[in-house]
């Protein structure tokens, strides 16, 4: 019975058409965002503020880190995951994440945390889509192994 459920739900997860897309967010867009953001943030501070403090608070490294973290978080957006694996898949994907943290599978956790680097470094989105479907199916296996 477990194998039958695994096959049926895996087919449902795989059959979800991955129409998910991410906004264009990579090294080039992060570099392009630096000058306008520095200008906008410095003009908010006004002319009376100390220039050293202004440059300390509004710098390229901080803005670049902010852009990188925004791009990184796009891959873990629940809406993106839903459009990739569907409703059954998002439940089992979340259970997969819970299980790899609970069971201390550090290799899988590193893979999961490294996946968002691919679009930022201008790689294709396909490995993320396939990995999320695979993680959802593994999570389904974890979930079904708990059933009696």
CB 136 within 8 A of CB 13: yes
**Radius of gyration for the chain, computed over Cα atoms and rounded to the nearest angstrom:** 20
Long-range contacts of 62-65 (CB under 8 A, 24+ apart): 63/33, 63/34, 63/37, 63/38, 64/30, 64/31, 64/34
pLDDT band for 77, please (50, 70, 90 cuts): very high
Domain residue spans in the chain? Answer: 25-74, 77-148
137 class by beta-carbon count within 10 Å (0-12 exposed, 13-18 middle, 19+ buried): buried
Give pLDDT tens digits for 93-130: 999 999 999 999 999 999 999 999 998 888 888 899 99
Written as six digits, the tokens of 30 are 């992060």
pLDDT of 30 reads 85
Q: Is residue 148's pLDDT more than 70?
A: no
Q: How far apart are CA 81 and CA 84, in angstroms?
A: 5
pLDDT of 26 reads 84
Q: Is the dihedral of CA 103, 106, 108, 114 positive or negative?
A: positive
Give pLDDT tens digits for 7-44: 888 888 888 777 777 788 888 888 888 888 877 877 77
């Amino acid at each position: 019975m477990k194998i039958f459920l695994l096959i049926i739900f895996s087919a449902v997860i795989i059959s979800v058409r991955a129409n998910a897309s991410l906004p264009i967010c990579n090294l080039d867009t992060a570099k392009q965002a630096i000058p306008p953001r520095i200008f906008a943030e410095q003009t908010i501070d006004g002319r009376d503020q100390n220039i050293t403090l202004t440059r300390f608070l509004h710098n390229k490294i901080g803005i670049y880190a902010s852009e990188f973290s925004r791009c990184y978080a796009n891959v873990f957006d629940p809406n993106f995951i839903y459009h990739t694996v569907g409703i059954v898949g998002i439940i089992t994907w979340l259970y997969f994440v819970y299980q790899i943290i609970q069971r201390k599978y550090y290799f899988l956790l590193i893979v999961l945390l490294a996946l968002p680097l691919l679009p930022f470094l201008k790689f294709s989105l396909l490995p993320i889509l396939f990995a999320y479907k695979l993680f959802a199916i593994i999570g389904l296996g974890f979930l079904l192994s708990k059933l009696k």
